[in-house]
Amino acid sequence: MILPSSRLLRASCGAVFVSLLVASAPGALAADPSKASRLGLEAQDFVDRGDLGQAESLIKKALDLEPKNPDANTAAARISFLRADNVRAQQQLAVALSSDPRHAGALTLLVRVHAMTGNTEILIPRFAQLANTWRDDAGVQLAYAEALLLNKKYPEAIAGATRVLKLEETSMPAMKLLARTYLALDRPVTAESILARILETERDAETLSLLSGIRHRDGKVIDARVLLEEAVQLLPGFVSGLNSLGAVYVDVRNWEGSIQVLRKASSLAPRWSPVWVNLGCALRGAGSFVEAEGAWKQALLIDAQLYKPWFNLGVLYLENPLPERDRLQQLTDAVNALNASRRLGAVSDDIDRYLEEARLLIKQERDKRERERKTPAPETGS
């Protein structure tokens, strides 16, 4: 079943082109790595591919050999982070950094873990000290710049990325960080020129995703789709890329494709709410209304303060009768959901219209039931 376009426009979904759920953090293989380190880095590759089971098997072997190995503990932290177990991720990163205080992958991931909890400012003094101590360590400087960017200290983040590029002229992570900073500053042309320079050297998944966001913003949805399809082909475990591709598929009404990639994303990061919000939109577009309801409720189980799932539930209850659901109760649920979305921050001129429509339908349903109650039952012959 394909919904009319007016109904689709009522759903609140969206791509995530810049996200913390990115590919493996930057790191380099030591000159003479231990077997545990080799296993840990191999595990990171499997996380990138989306094969968390194989990654966990390798991590276990690595930690059996060397419990405090920084590469293995960082790989383990990445999986914990995907599962939104930020406490465990921080514990694993603490172990990694106790063995190697300037482990680039662990430091960068620590910033991202804190960002998911909205608490990156606490890292600034610690990372500033590290950056001052190891001025010639590109990984440390990059992690510090990442922390600065996420705290909206844009000039400082640009300066940090520039320092990294002076140490390593072709540092792709530093160039991507610069591009993300310019996007945050609403300078997409500058960001695009940096991303294009990266792609001249390597077809990198995160770079493709960032460029896709610029294309999408310009209304070039097909171009955005093509770039994201390439990104997730290169890096099948790229959760943010999968989520954005699913949202773009919703834009072009490719319901089957959207559901497929979003189910994969939800299996890799089951506690990341944007995936469930977009999956609900795809399922509704495909006419799977009960499953759409379940996806949006899952998003609210993860974060009860989100307004998008409430908004979407309100529209669903208003427009799509669910099987074996009392119609009057469903319309009442629509009013409650729309009110919840507004209370949590939804801003839409249409909410009042939706509420008025729902209340009118409630009145009509009550009047209908009252008429039916008063109408005598037809007499049956003897």
H-assigned helices in the chain: 5-8, 35-49, 52-65, 70-82, 86-99, 104-116, 124-133, 138-150, 154-167, 172-184, 188-201, 205-217, 221-234, 239-251, 255-268, 273-285, 289-302, 308-319, 327-343, 350-374
pLDDT at 58 over 50: yes
What pLDDT is recorded for position 336? Answer: 96
Tokens of 132: 């001052």
Structure letter (DSSP) for residue 208: H
Nearest to 241 by CA among 216, 206, 217, 190: 206
Closest residue by Cα to residue 98 from 74, 129, 114, 122: 74
269 neighbors 302 (Cβ within 8 angstroms): no
Report how far residue 4's alpha carbon sits from residue 6's, in angstroms, rounded to the nearest whole number. 5
Q: Kindly report the number of other CB atoms within 10 A of residue 221's CB atom.
A: 16
Confidence check: pLDDT of 119 > 90: no
State residue 1's pLDDT score. Answer: 27
Residue 183 pLDDT > 50 = yes
The tens digit of pLDDT for each residue in 10-53 reads: 567 766 665 555 555 555 555 568 999 999 999 999 999 999 99
Write the burial class of residue 263 (CB in 10 Å: 0-12 exposed, 13-18 middle, 19+ buried).
Answer: middle
Q: Is the pLDDT of residue 98 over 80?
A: yes
d(CA 29, CA 40): 11
- 146-173 pLDDT tens trace: 999 999 999 999 999 999 999 999 999 9
Structure tokens at 310: 């409430």
Q: Which domains does the chain have, with CATH numbers?
A: 24-119 (1.25.40.10)
Q: What are the structure tokens assigned to 83, written together?
A: 């599962």
- pTM for the full model? 0.88
276-110-48 Cα angle (round to 5): 55
Structure tokens that stand for 84 in this block: 């939104």
Distance CA 44, CA 21 (A): 14
On whether the CB atoms of residues 7 and 319 are closer than 8 A, the answer is yes
Kindly report, residue by residue over 190-229, the tens digit of the pLDDT. Answer: 999 999 999 999 999 999 999 999 999 999 999 999 999 9
Alpha-carbon gap, residue 340 to 338, rounded angstroms:
5
Q: pLDDT tens digits for 267-293?
A: 999 999 999 999 999 999 999 999 999
Backbone angles phi, psi at 365, to 5 degrees: -65, -40
pLDDT reported for residue 18: 54
